[in-house]
Amino acid sequence: MPVHPGAGLTICLHPSGAAFLPDHGALLVADVHLGKAASFRRLGVPVPGGSTAATLDALSDALASLGDTPVKHLVFLGDLLHAARGRSPELTDVVAQALAAWRGEAPGLRVHLVRGNHDRDAGDPPVEWGIELRTEPWLEGPWALCHEPQPVAGAYTLAGHLHPCIGLRGGARERLRLPCFWFGDPARHAVGVLPAFGDFTGMHPIQRRPGDRVWAVADESVREVPVARR
């Protein structure tokens, strides 16, 4: 779904939580947190396995869904790895194999990581993963690619970190929380936040401001959430 957060700006939102910049051939994902479930299990917390595989499968599906659209760059907006204790040899092998598969499906694909707070704790990914490291803000045309949401002069920021979600109300006092894309008004707060892409990441409700636009992710679709009437 193409979205225009500001004049001359176009970003396409994907129901996986990824976003595509067509003018740059860049697919963006935030807060993958590979190894988070493994880290909790090593601490004795009984969480299910398979979250890393599910996350990588979703990423492969997002890349494949673009079809003939040229994808030149895959950009992780921070927190690729959750913690140093999540970097097991098994995890390294899984990710290395997945990256090789992505390159086979999209020749010439370059993979970048804008370092986030968890990446600083976990350490840089192994060199053999072939990931180019970036420091925020990474300026790409009119965009400032970051992990933490922050205004950048002369650019519109795209970030993660917050794991945003929005609460919706239905009939019979039903309440639902959905992950969401959250875009600030470029004239007031030129920052957009992507939902967490990881399968085991949690969510945090946003505090919507005047002029903000929000797209919720549900049922393999992305839909704009209008401002609630009072």
Domain-embedded: residue 37 = yes
Tens digits of residue pLDDT in 52-79: 667 777 888 888 888 778 888 999 998 8
**Per the domain annotation, does 121 fall within a domain?**
yes
Structural domain includes residue 159: yes
Q: Does 230 reside within a domain?
A: no
pTM, full prediction? 0.85
Distances (CA, A) of 74 to 59, 70, 180, 219, 221: 10, 11, 20, 24, 21
Domains held by the chain: number: 1
**Which residue numbers in the chain have pLDDT < 50?**
37, 40-41, 43, 45-48, 50, 85-87
What is the predicted pLDDT for the residue at 46? 45
Question: What is the β-pairing status of strands 2-3 and 175-183?
Answer: unpaired
Residue 107: inside a domain:
yes
In a domain, 43, yes or no: yes
Question: For position 202, what pLDDT does the model report?
Answer: 75
Find the domain containing 23 and state its range. 2-225
How far apart are the C-alpha atoms of 187 and 88, rounded to whole Å?
A: 45
* Cα 194 to Cα 153: distance, rounded to the nearest angstrom: 20
Q: Is residue 33 part of a domain?
A: yes
CATH code at 187? 3.60.21
